[in-house]
Copies of this chain bind each other. A is one copy, B any other.
Amino acid sequence: MATTQGIAAGSVNAEVICVGTEILLGDILNTNSQFLALELAKLGIPHYYQTVVGDNPERMAEVIRAACDRAQILIFTGGLGPTPDDLTTEVIAQVFDTPLEERPEVLADITKKYSRRGRSMALSNRKQALLPVGAAVLPNPLGTAPGMIWEPRPNCLIFTFPGVPREMEQMWWETTVPYLRSHGFADSLIHSRMLRFWGIAESTLAEKVDRFLSLQNPTVAPYASQGEIRLRVSARAASEAEAYALIEPVAEELQAIAGADYFGSDADTLASVVGRLLSQAGQTLAVAESCTGGGLGHLLTTVAGSSVYFKGGIISYDNAVKMELLGVSPTALESLGAVSGTVAEQMAQGVRSRLKTDWGLSITGIAGPGGGTETKPVGLVYIGLASPAGVESHAFQFGVHQQRDFIRWLSACTALDLLRRCLMTIQ
Contacts and interface: CB of A to CB of B under 8 A. Distances in A.
Interface centre among A59, A225, A291, A294 (most CB of B within 10 A): A294
A313 B24 CA distance: 42
Interface string A112-141: 000011110111110000000000000001
A370 B304 contact: yes
Interface in A297-334: 297-298, 300-302, 304-307, 310-318, 320-321, 325
A27 B35 CA distance: 10
Interface size of A as a range: 35 or more
Interface string A328-347: 00000000000000000000
Interface centre among A125, A300, A318 (most CB of B within 10 A): A318
B48 A37 contact: no
A30 B30 contact: yes
Contacts of A119: 201, 204
A314 B125 CA distance: 42
A355 interface: yes
Given A51-B51, A223-B22, A354-B325, A313 B301 contact: no
B297 A307 contact: no
A189 interface: no
A124 B402 contact: no
Nearest to A290: B312
B24 A48 contact: yes
Contact of A294 (B24, B296, B397): B296
Determine chain A's interface SS by DSSP, over half rule. mixed
B37 A82 contact: no
Given A37-B23, A52-B33, A292-B301, A207 B122 contact: yes
A164 B226 CA distance: 9
A321 B50 contact: no
Contact of A405 (B302, B320, B356): B302
Interface in A186-234: 201-204, 206-207, 213, 221-225, 232, 234
Given A292-B301, A294-B296, A295-B297, 12 more contacts: A22-B221, A24-B37, A25-B37, A48-B56, A83-B222, A122-B201, A287-B294, A287-B315, A302-B404, A304-B367, A311-B321, A315-B315
15 contacts: A25-B234, A30-B33, A50-B51, A51-B52, A66-B66, A83-B222, A85-B221, A117-B399, A119-B204, A122-B201, A122-B204, A123-B207, A289-B297, A310-B317, A312-B314
